A and B are shown apart, each in its own frame.
Chain A
Amino acid sequence: MSTSLTARDGVGRQVDYWWTVYKRTWRGGIISSFVSPLFYVVGMGVLLGGFIEGDPARLEGATSYLAYIVPGLVAAHAMQLAVGETTYPVMGGIKWHKSYHAQMATPLAVRDIVNAHLLFVLSRIGSATAVFMLVLAPFGLFESWWGPFLAWLAQLLVGMAFATVVFGVSARMTSEEGFGVIFRLGVVPLTLFSGAFFPIDNLGPLLAWVARLTPLWHGVDLSRMLCLDTVDWPLAAVHLVVLAAITAWGWWWAIRGLEQRLGDS
């Protein structure tokens, strides 16, 4: 029997829960959300970038290596946070602290549980990437005032594309062992080869096409063209459609996965 709630009501009833989670965990998140990416900006962007000539022809229109990597780093960071927030925490809700089961004992439906969790992830990604972009704004890396705003929305979309799909994976997984493999064979190579650190053409024609098929590349490229004001609108539209389609499918898949999982147990 289910007395179905509206989507708004379903999420609204969980606000105090996620607010409590946030209040208790935000300190741990500071280092992974803000300090680590800043180390990367200084190490790779500033120091290694000092040895790289700021040639727009070789850097997809960027006049310095720092300006080149920052939009990609932030997009990759959105992905990393999204994966981090939808692996162990989702398994925790199912298996360890069983908060999903507790939530299911109320009028909440699986859809509401997934929505609220994903909105929490969205707020984490949104705040982390916004602070990141704001801190970098004074360094003259952005070519227009509106580009970084749109780039931030693009980063949110990248985050949600990964958050929904990985939520679906986690909802179906029975052991946390697989998460290590997701990070090593998914997150790390995507971060390194999706055009965040160097133009994917440097990989050679074949691998460059492989990189173009990865969702992160769409996000990195979109984020970068908006920050550098080198927007190729038809291509931007393709990026947008790909990321939105993944997010929509992932959302459906996540809800379905959790429905099956909680129904079985």
Chain B
Amino acid sequence: MSLDHRATTPALSPWGALSAITLRNYTTYRRYWKLFLTGFLEPVFYLFSIGIGVGQLIDTFEFNGQSIPYAEFVAPGMLAASAFNGALLDSTYNVFFKLKYDKLYDQMLATPLTTADVARGEILWGQLRGASYSAAFLLVMLAMGMISSWWALLALPATLLIGFAFSAVCMGLTTYMKSFQDFDKITLVQLPMFLFSATFFPVEAFGDGPVRWVVEATPLYRGVVLCRELTTGALTWSSAVSVAYLLVMGVLGLLLVRRRLDKLLLT
């Protein structure tokens, strides 16, 4: 079936489409402001508990030649992990629900919106939410004296990059899910990434063997290290590798989402 109606409806500019979807998300999300507010607290709780409570049992860690207190080591890890968790949850549970039960995307595509608009719009919304959490968390870090470099200003865009990369890929993968039972598989990936991406301890804990290479090749590890390099000011060439890695991952994810939505909704 060809999409003839598109020829007759006035086309939306990509920006017009984005703002329409964002306005829609904002309108429905206003009801959930309690969940929104408390979402910010979770990484802060982790920071206080692990960084400060457990931190008193640990002296300092070496990171890129600097010796830093444990709380200062954990904080950027939590910053990155929170961007990761937020993006992951938003782009799996929420997208699955909208796709399968609400049939929201079917409805959107009955308007002049395209699948690319839907993909971009959903990811942008996740990013707006994630950015507000990251900014608040960075302010907490600043207030507690856990930031030691002006590079930390770039930590906010870095968390957006992490959010973008994971949102795009996870949304793409969500389109393959058949039932809520599949969500256990998300936990199986999410939890080890959260715990083992050098968030809570240095990557040296894995020794020098292949396990460490695997960890270093995972996207959350790149994000964690990038954030840590920015808040401590210890930038290296591998920071650029992390940026390129996450960027490519996000773009590939976006292409996948578009292809999958085309296949699922336009045939």
Which residues in A have some Cβ–Cβ distance to B below 8 Å? 27-28, 30-32, 35-36, 39-40, 42-44, 47-48, 50-53, 58-59, 65, 177, 180-181, 184-185, 188-189, 192-193, 197-198, 202-203
Closest residue on chain B to residue A196 by CB atoms? B49
The smallest beta-carbon distance between A89 and chain B, in angstroms, is 14
Complex CA distance for A264 and B42, rounded to whole angstroms: 36
Do B50 and A197 touch (CB < 8 A)? Answer: yes
Also in contact, A197 and B54, with CB within 8 A (given A36-B187, A39-B191, A192-B46)? yes
Please report whether the interface of chain A is mostly helix, strand, loop or mixed according to DSSP: helix
A193 and B188 contact, CB distance less than 8 A: no
Q: How many A-B pairs fall under 8 Å by CB?
A: 92
Residues A184 and B38 in contact, CB atoms below 8 Å apart: yes
Is there an interface contact between B56 and A202, defined as CB atoms closer than 8 Å?
Answer: yes
* In-complex Cβ contact of A65 among B38, B42, B57 (8 A): B57
Give the residues in chain B near A59, CB-CB below 8 Å. Answer: 57
Q: Tell which of B45, B188, B206 touches A35, judged by Cβ atoms closer than 8 Å.
A: B188
Q: Are B38 and A47 in contact (CB under 8 A)?
A: no
* Chain B contacts with A in 166-209, Cβ cutoff 8 A: 181, 184, 187-188, 191-192, 195-196, 200-202, 205-206
Contact A51 B201 (CB under 8 A): yes
> B residues engaging A (CB < 8 A)?
32, 34-35, 38-39, 41-42, 45-46, 48-50, 52-54, 56-58, 61, 181, 184, 187-188, 191-192, 195-196, 200-202, 205-206
Q: Across the interface, do A47 and B184 meet the contact criterion of CB distance under 8 Å?
A: no
Q: Which residues of B contact A198 (CB under 8 A)?
A: 49, 53-54, 56-57
User: Known contacts A50-B205, A177-B32, A184-B41; can you find 8 more A-B pairs with CB under 8 A?
Assistant: A43-B192, A43-B195, A47-B196, A59-B57, A181-B34, A184-B39, A193-B48, A197-B54
Question: Are A47 and B201 also in contact (CB < 8 A) when A177-B34, A198-B56 are?
Answer: yes
Complex Cα gap A31–B182 (Å):
12
Contact between chains at B38 and A202 (CB < 8 Å) = no
Contact B184 A50 (CB under 8 A): no
Contact A50 B38 (CB under 8 A): no
Residues on A with beta carbons closer than 8 Å to the beta carbon of B187: 31-32, 35-36
Q: Can you report 16 A-B residue pairs in the complex whose CB atoms are below 8 A from each other?
A: A31-B184, A42-B195, A43-B195, A44-B200, A47-B201, A48-B200, A51-B202, A184-B39, A185-B38, A188-B45, A193-B49, A197-B49, A197-B50, A197-B53, A197-B54, A202-B57
Report B204 CB to chain A, min CB distance, Å: 9
Query: Shortest Cβ distance from B27 into chain A, in angstroms?
Result: 17
Q: Which residue of B lies closest to A189 (CB)?
A: B45
Contact between chains at B35 and A181 (CB < 8 Å): yes
User: From residue B60, how far is it (CB to closest CB) to chain A in Å?
Assistant: 10
Q: Which residue of A lies closest to B56 (CB)?
A: A202
Given the complex of chains A and B, what is the CA–CA distance between A197 and B55 in angstroms?
11
Instruction: Kindly name the residue among A28, A43, A44, A58 whose own CB sees the greatest number of chain B CB atoms within 10 A.
Output: A43
Contact between B35 and A40 (Cβ–Cβ < 8 Å)? no
Q: Tell me which residues across on chain B come within 8 A of A31, comparing CB atoms.
A: 184, 187-188
Closest to A47 in B: B205
In the complex, chain B residues whose CB is within 8 Å of the CB of A184: 35, 38-39, 41-42
Cross-chain contact B54 with A48 (CB below 8 angstroms): yes
Complex Cα gap A65–B78 (Å): 21
**Residues of A with C-beta under 8 A to B195:** 39-40, 42-44
CB of B200 within 8 A of CB of A202, answer no
Are A202 and B35 in contact (CB-based, < 8 A)? no
Docked-complex contact A58 and B196, CB < 8 angstroms: no
Closest to A32 in B: B187
Which residues from A are CB-within-8-Å of B42? Answer: 184, 188
The chain A residue with its CB closest to the CB of B202 is A51
Inter-subunit contact B192/A28 (CB<8 Å): no
User: Distance (Å) between the CB of B198 and the closest chain A CB?
Assistant: 10
> Is the Cβ of B201 less than 8 Å from the Cβ of A50?
yes
Given contacts A43-B200, A181-B35, A181-B38, contact A51 B58 (CB under 8 A): yes
Inside 8 A of A36's CB, which chain B residues have their CB?
187, 191
Sorted from nearest, which 8 A-B pairs have the closest CB atoms? A43-B195, A192-B49, A198-B53, A184-B38, A31-B184, A48-B201, A47-B205, A202-B56
* A189 contact set on B, CB distance < 8 A: 45
Q: How far is the CB of A240 from chain B (nearest CB, A)?
A: 26
Known: A198-B54, A202-B53. A192 touches B196 (CB 8 A): no
Q: Smallest distance from the beta carbon of A21 to chain B beta carbons, Å?
A: 15
Complex interface: chain B residues within 8 A of A28 (CB)? 181, 184
A21 to B220, CA, bound (A): 37
Closest chain-B Cβ to A206's Cβ sits at a distance in Å of 14
A51 and B206 CA atoms in complex are apart in Å by: 12
A43 and B50 contact, Cβ closer than 8 Å, known pairs A177-B34, A181-B34:
no
* Residues of B close to A32: CB separation below 8 A: 184, 187
